[in-house]
Amino acid sequence: MAGEAFVKAAGDINGPCMVCLTPTDTGVGIKGATHGLARGLLMLGVNPKLVLSIIEHRFGRGARIPVDTHHGIRVCVPCAAASGCEATLMSGSSMPEFLYDFSSEG
Do the Cβ atoms of 69 and 30 come closer than 8 Å? no
**From the list 33, 37, 73, 79, which residue makes contact with Zn ion (rule: CB under 5 A)?**
79
In angstroms, the CA 18 to CA 75 distance is 6
**From the list 7, 10, 17, 46, which residue makes contact with Zn ion (rule: CB under 5 A)?**
17
Least Cβ distance, residue 9 to Zn ion (angstroms): 10
Angle of helix 48-59 relative to helix 3-11, nearest 10 degrees, comes to: 40
Stretch that binds Zn ion, among 4-12, 36-44, 58-66, 70-78 (CB under 5 A): 70-78
Question: Running DSSP on this structure, what letter comes out for residue 20?
Answer: T
- The residues binding Zn ion (CB under 5 A) are 17, 19-20, 76, 79
